[in-house]
Structure 1
């Protein structure tokens, strides 16, 4: 087995596509969004952009120089984190952070008993939190020994760099553009942070003689911290500030660290921690049932109890409710959500031992991280609470749970890519609801390249639009509908392959625009359709089967759009959907119904074209 980072040097650099191929693809992607006259005007502007000596040629040469100077990746080394994440000043909650709702234990209890230390918490909650924290620490140890296998595709290895960007990583707010602070890889940190009742505790994860603890030891540490709640002088709920607008949090943080040296010390312990564990104490368990599309639990995963008991800047947060339900919540900038999703899928497989062993090692008691505050801090907290309340009230969350068929059916009967098929279902659902197409983003991975992150897969195409119109036209024969479905799937799969090979257009266009100098402009970038084609009202991303997940999600990019993360299980398809209550055109619940109907309509069309014997087989899948 190749060591985790041993093949990094073999990976190629992310290519800079040619101007001709990018502009040709761009013109093709805007066709469904333009009138014939608008398309013709954009084609003329494209010719001017591409002409010898034109601005396009100049920008391309500047970008090639950026590429030459980049040690690993022209995009990641130069612009990506700042432009895609850190310059965006909106709150991380809903707008940027992701969540994963994890399945319950197979032997999950139905009765929960309060801890002796504090009735706000339950014994199973503490045991499960201790167990999964230890499972994650075991995984981290394996990663640090570089024993996590290199992920491979038919084309070769994938970049494993993102695995080094998750542990001990925190985003800190700064004026205009945030920064990441992290301990080196492997991290020298030997602690995690436990968050309970808006208080923060440093929890050592090794004994005084540098031995890793067992589940029972971690459980003892958590209970010790819970017990301390009665004795300590509680600090103000500083975690709320991490949920605020980034500029507001910047000012509040600067005020804190100038106010008293203790605040810098406490912040640094949190920022250097390997990860955070949260125990929530709400008396009423969050409802998690399919009857309401898991809406309440999805909302909890997105922003919790009004931003309480959180540290949104941390790359990885394990959150446990009183009844042992588990949510993973993370900051998006250092690492795409696929990596923590793979890790969570791994660590949850081993059940909690209700009689977990201990080492009885000598361990430092949990240390309460106190904060010194004043009237100004109270103003910051009040403003942050108002921001979070408005943000959470406007967030329309849900999980569309579809178990009438899954990816097994798509592969065996439709004989198509499940991802492309689900993308067409999303296109059709949107068309059913809104009556027109919209620019659609799907995350494409560029991990075939060194330090590769993502590229946009532009799902909307002339083929997908033709498919949607045909599906909603009762006069069109099933054979024609299925033919158009297959053409749309083929077009999507082709674009997906090209994006994964570094031949997408959005990152290239971004790089060209970032090479513009003062006073330079081009009509191609100023056309209304340029903005419209990049305003992704459908922002989507797929993970994997996700059988250990109830749902996953992130926020919509635009007030009138949807944010959709989906899981293609063999028998079940799950879509985490978020939109805004303030929108007059979107509704998560209505979209869910249109999505279910789209999936049913697609199946009906496919089966109407099958011979009778194959239709009987298909009905069983």
Structure 2
């Protein structure tokens, strides 16, 4: 897995000239001619010989020289992008993946003998997926995961080592990560049921691994204990609160009683969390219904209950066996757990899983000692969660008319760029204007690479949107502008992947400013406007085993959009805010449908008659 790390180059520091040129082009569609000229003049002053830009560039080059792996990741990234952000993790930062129901998903659900709040299939599926993930962790620990590669070569695999056993802990002003070593020596997971946390060993006393039936037995044992233990306060709710508030509450718990430190450490040292939720009523498990409710469960759950938001992975199972993978974003990008989930959920649950006679340590309840102050903290956290949940307008959209197969064969453009233009068009339809747009670009071709911003909005994308909304333009004109816009987007995507976007470089330059230093380029209103990403987007792979994925919007008047481009279906997870007068998730989903259909119509009208007939089949 890590055999090609030595061959990866360090993330480059681009030249001032190429970064400023890229920045200026990206703001053309957001400015008046006068504003653009002023920004150009300020950029010229910034990069002039002896100017502040030249000084900052030299400081940044020194940062690069001192960085052992990656000037951004080694020095600033995790703190500036994640850990200094003080808002709650639910909705704002954590991601979710809705995993498809299984091929043998039952239509009826039967309560367990141990507790009628939980169902037998829920427990069986949770045990099976747990075992599948543990199998993958064995492969990970032995470094037998194949190296991810693109046409450009191998990709950095470090993020695969930054997921299992990781926990974000709240600290005043800036959080921290704690983790077990890689390969992880941890031999337990955390099971969360009815807001109670249990340490569950994943190996027998002799060190051997369990069978699925053994893991079922562990989970059923913990469910049975619910009636026997003295239940603790729902401390997991505190992980959903504002980060500074959680830091205060956590410190109070640690000082209050040493038992709390012991329980916290067991949680933080665990491999991952499994959640058996008992709130939702079992349904008929129809995968075509309740996508919005399912998305809400993935985004924030039932009032933030039954999850540990700081943990890198929570696998959540509802009473009807529906599964959600939920995780904390800072140690690695969501693509990595998505790839892992795509691997481990392919094998269906064995409804008659075998058990062994191995000697198993029973699950151990993790108690928390609390007091009146903790109850105040829990009350405040619940109010925070309720407000966030009520304001989160999230849903899943499946566009089924066509997918990547049609785009490749008949539009003959990059599928990702085509989807980005559809999102631009949908937003333009809704508002009548363009907006700053973020798309995640990967820099994993570099050592310890994470992401770069792909700025989708360009003069070319705006020209395409205007043409599509102008009834007098011909299909030929529309398709020509579509091709120009997608080529421009693909070039920016390539530049970003090569470490030559403008956002990370500009961030590094600004972080090199000393007290009292500033430049008017960064004070221009358009500079802030260009990073107020009203469309915050990220694309994954086809996701044939997923129903949807999602994350929160980064702007209170924008959308957070995660999409999976399949051959026949394109899936979108969308989130916006109910209190915004400018957004509406359901309406935006309909506009995405309209945009795709109008783009297909334009493409088909430019095709020869014989191709037009065959295109209708894709």
Q: How does the TM-score come out when normalised to structure 2? A: 0.99
The question of 1:297 aligning with 2:313 is answered no
The question of 1:159 aligning with 2:156 is answered yes
Q: Deviation of residue 283 (structure 1)?
A: 4.6
Aligned-partner SS, 1:212 = coil
Within 5 A, what are the aligned runs for 1:159-558? 159-285=156-282, 294-558=291-555
Aligned-partner SS, 2:198 = strand
The equivalent of 1:96 in structure 2 is 93
Judging changes above 3 Å, is the alpha-carbon distance between structure 1 residues 184 and 286 closer, same or farther for their aligned structure 2 residues? farther
Unaligned regions of 5+ residues in structure 2, if any? none
Which piece of structure 1 moves more, 357-366 or 491-500? Answer: 357-366
Contact 2:198 2:365 in 1 (8 A): yes
The equivalent of 1:17 in structure 2 is 14
Q: Deviation of residue 284 (structure 1)?
A: 1.4
Of the three residues 578, 586, 589, the one matched with 2:586 is 589
Aligned-partner SS, 1:167 = coil
The equivalent of 1:617 in structure 2 is 614
Deviating 4+ runs (over 6 angstroms): 286-293
User: Cα deviations across residues 204-245 of structure 1 (Å, max 9, x unaligned)?
Assistant: 001111111111111000000000000000000000000000
The question of 1:8 aligning with 2:5 is answered yes
The equivalent of 2:597 in structure 1 is 600
Aligned-partner SS, 2:192 = strand
Counterpart Cα distance in 2 of 1:46 and 1:229: 64
Q: Deviation of residue 287 (structure 1)?
A: 9.1
Counterpart Cα distance in 2 of 1:10 and 1:300: 42
Q: How large is the Cα RMSD of the aligned pairs?
A: 1.0
Q: Deviation of residue 282 (structure 1)?
A: 1.6
The equivalent of 2:112 in structure 1 is 115
Within 5 A, what are the aligned runs for 1:119-138? 119-138=116-135
Contact 2:30 2:526 in 1 (8 A): yes
Contact 2:544 2:566 in 1 (8 A): yes
Counterpart Cα distance in 1 of 2:100 and 2:60: 46
Contact 1:408 1:570 in 2 (8 A): yes
Contact 1:215 1:357 in 2 (8 A): yes
Q: Deviation of residue 153 (structure 1)?
A: 1.2
Counterpart Cα distance in 2 of 1:471 and 1:73: 42
Contact 2:105 2:285 in 1 (8 A): no
The equivalent of 1:71 in structure 2 is 68
Counterpart Cα distance in 2 of 1:59 and 1:292: 54
Contact 2:115 2:224 in 1 (8 A): yes
Judging changes above 3 Å, is the alpha-carbon distance between structure 1 residues 21 and 293 closer, same or farther for their aligned structure 2 residues? farther
User: Cα deviations across residues 156-184 of structure 1 (Å, max 9, x unaligned)?
Assistant: 10000000000000000000000000000
Aligned-partner SS, 2:27 = helix
Q: How does the TM-score come out when normalised to structure 1? A: 0.99
Aligned-partner SS, 1:26 = helix
Contact 1:279 1:322 in 2 (8 A): yes
Q: Deviation of residue 286 (structure 1)?
A: 7.0
Contact 1:443 1:455 in 2 (8 A): yes
Q: Deviation of residue 285 (structure 1)?
A: 3.6
Contact 2:281 2:320 in 1 (8 A): no
Contact 1:445 1:500 in 2 (8 A): yes
Counterpart Cα distance in 1 of 2:151 and 2:393: 40
Unaligned regions of 5+ residues in structure 1, if any? none
Contact 1:560 1:585 in 2 (8 A): yes
Aligned-partner SS, 1:396 = strand
Which piece of structure 1 moves more, 285-294 or 233-242? Answer: 285-294
Contact 1:287 1:296 in 2 (8 A): no
Q: Deviation of residue 354 (structure 1)?
A: 1.0
User: Cα deviations across residues 234-292 of structure 1 (Å, max 9, x unaligned)?
Assistant: 00000000000000000000000000000000011011100000000125147977877
Counterpart Cα distance in 2 of 1:368 and 1:591: 45
Q: Deviation of residue 389 (structure 1)?
A: 0.2
User: Cα deviations across residues 474-526 of structure 1 (Å, max 9, x unaligned)?
Assistant: 01111000000000000000000010001111000000000000000001000
Which piece of structure 1 moves more, 293-302 or 433-442? Answer: 293-302
Count of residues in Structure 1 that have an aligned counterpart in Structure 2: 618
Contact 1:293 1:400 in 2 (8 A): no
Counterpart Cα distance in 1 of 2:290 and 2:537: 18
Aligned-partner SS, 2:576 = strand
